[in-house]
Amino acid sequence: MSKPNSSKLELRRALRQRRRALPQAHRANTARQLVRSVKTLLEWSSASKIALYMASDGEADPAEIAKALRHSGKTPYLPIIQEDKSLRFAPWTETATLVANRYGILEPQTTSCTAAELDIILLPLVAWDTQGHRLGMGGGYYDRSLAGVQNVIKVGLALELQKVEALVTEPWDIRMDFVATENGLIQCQGEG
């Protein structure tokens, strides 16, 4: 993967600043609304392995989604950064020991699986468009981990303020199938 261009860097910086500036009450309300949005996904009730993430840097917070999963008898999965800069995913039980990774984000220290073994992955993002393109933090972890994976539903968790008209993409960028925001679930339109 090559270096990001300056327009991506500028967009990433501006949107990260915008989402960090949101009041905590707004973030908490958005987290509750995201639960309603993702639950409208047709496959939600039948899915057993759903990955999410630990929010940082003002990201849309899936903590309420994790609670809803546990309440319905399901165990959420969290990503674990690998040496090759890919991700594996491990069950996040309420008693799991979590350890901070190189970015200070907590990860479980248990047996893990690949992205292909999951049903749904809820992805963090900095920006999104209705074509399903996603601008992440720039490390390419999800793109590496989802390369060639066809059977997993990819849902970006976002705030409406992170929506842009169109994103500049690279050949290795993995598209999302849906985006869940505080306003609902959006099915991405794809390239056509």
pLDDT score recorded for residue 191: 59
Q: Is the dihedral of CA 102, 55, 90, 174 positive or negative?
A: negative
88-136 pLDDT, tens digit each: 999 999 888 999 999 999 999 888 899 999 999 999 999 999 999 998 8
- Domain ranges, residue 143: 6-187
How many domains does the structure of the chain reveal? 1
| 192 pLDDT tier (thresholds 50, 70, 90) | very low
pLDDT score recorded for residue 8: 82
Per the CB < 8 A criterion, the answer to whether 78 and 51 are in contact is yes
- The angle at the Cα of 85, spanning 47 to 21, to the nearest 5 degrees, equals 75
Asked whether residue 1 is domain-assigned, the answer is no
Asked whether residue 192 is domain-assigned, the answer is no
